[in-house]
Structure 1
């Protein structure tokens, strides 16, 4: 009887400690999130889901998700063209992250708008029209989207990487970025890194800018996979909130963050569309464009997003179709 009482009391103490710890964690997260909000300015995306048409992306299946990443330099109510366009692919089984960039001058069919540059889709119809355009031209399904106002990029970088990001600058960069970046190996903080990824007078034209964007994102990912960033995640979300419009829920964000920690040693793979030797430069009624071989680029993009993934059998597919809630549970 006494042994049973001791066991019962021990169980109660452990439960009390667990609940106390949970309360502390919740208060810490709320405090850090609000602290992040206080450090952020009044970003244009402070009210998620109010600026764009409803996003019709499919729910993820087999533990794989595609997130449309759009960098926007819109100011006020102005609906600008996308300044950066990427597909982030996350695999919950391998904890791998891949990035595919679609160049803004890629000549594509935009539903109900005819032939246009890829970056025009965002101006015409927001993330949903970009999703439809990618599906129509490359037969790739997008599950979620995140539109990032570049004004908040520097703040987010400074929290994730307080010691800066090291890059190799090939030549002086100054035109149009409000600063001068000198050649050589440099440690860049938020504002400088933003200038580095947005510099447009590249000797390799927009190809060089896309390469720098992918480089910066890869290095930010490495920093974000550290334990320090996990501790700072609530604050990062608070800072980022006014600058990001997204339909990715908090549970999925935390689940992916946990997965990236588990796979932090994996190098982020990247792809650029159009791929090499699959396009020609032409001038058409909408300006200078990259006229692409659609089939070659469609197959390259689909292969890149699916490579290294085990293809399930028909029976496995029946068993493995998961809802959003099931997916979150899987990656936790």
Structure 2
């Protein structure tokens, strides 16, 4: 089962995703700030998660070359899914999207997350010190949104986003949320209120999937980033150029469940313990 996980850059004070969203809100009017392709194994005990930098310069069907996150603004989830499937050759089974407010709520729902930071930085008034940081929802949002003062900009931000996801899962596991039926229900209720999914799954389906995934462990998840050839400019836009050769190897690994072997061969693409 493969999910395309998206975080939008909506600045709305009101929810735009999940059951709490106001009717008529068009999430597709925003560009996607986070793009991850997550493939879960049949036993629901492990998964591979691949981040695609939002500024990746790709072909968007019907729109030519542009940043991949523009596909969401041009045509909502259908066009973004089509763009990702064309880029990767990986079939997307389900789509899930969360906005800034939803992400903040999710972090608060698990009591905050713990992330390791390679070096002291700050963003939006939040200071991050080297080593382990405990973050509430507002601080976690500042953490995953930081782009400037990071060595590789958008690429390092994508690693932070993966680090936050890993921390969320770790907190759910270490806190016993996945094993305790009452805590699991509360967690999945928070997910349903914050996350919008495609029509074939429904928010009720999220709860069923959550029950199936009670055996998931952080050490069973492999986080990698799509390999990058370099940074550049297209007109006035700063863009990311993917490494086509290594990307082809990565997408083949995702399709054939060979991500562990890929990670061994390409350790620089693997999420470390302490991203920048």
**TM-score, normalized by length of structure 2?**
0.77
Q: What runs of 5+ residues in structure 2 fail to find an aligned partner?
A: 13-24, 260-276
- Report deviation, 1:242: 4.4
Greater displacement, 236-245 / 117-126: 236-245
- Report deviation, 1:101: 0.5
Q: Paired residue for 2:196?
A: 245
Distance in 2 (alpha carbons) for counterparts of 1:166 and 1:292: 30
Give SS of 1:228's match.
coil
Matched, 1:294 2:244: yes
Count residues in correspondence.
239
Give SS of 2:5's match.
strand
- Report deviation, 1:258: 3.0
Give SS of 2:250's match.
helix
CA RMSD of aligned residues (A): 2.4
Greater displacement, 165-174 / 128-137: 165-174
Matched, 1:148 2:98: yes
Higher relative strand content: 2
- Report deviation, 1:139: 1.2
**TM-score, normalized by length of structure 1?**
0.65
Q: Write out aligned runs for 1:219-298 (5 A).
A: 219-225=167-173, 227-229=176-178, 230-247=181-198, 248-250=201-203, 252-264=205-217, 266-273=219-226, 275=227, 279-285=229-235, 287-298=237-248
Q: Paired residue for 2:107?
A: 157
Large movers: runs of 4+ above 4 Å: none
Q: Paired residue for 2:4?
A: 68
Q: What runs of 5+ residues in structure 1 fail to find an aligned partner?
A: 1-64, 310-332
CA contact (8 A) 2:8 2:99 kept: yes
For residues 265 and 214 of structure 1, do their structure 2 counterparts lie closer, same or farther at Cα, with a shift above 3 Å needed? closer
Question: In terms of Rg, which structure is larger?
Answer: 1
Which of 173, 181, 186 lines up with 2:133 in the alignment?
Answer: 186
Q: Paired residue for 1:120?
A: 70
Higher relative helix content: 1
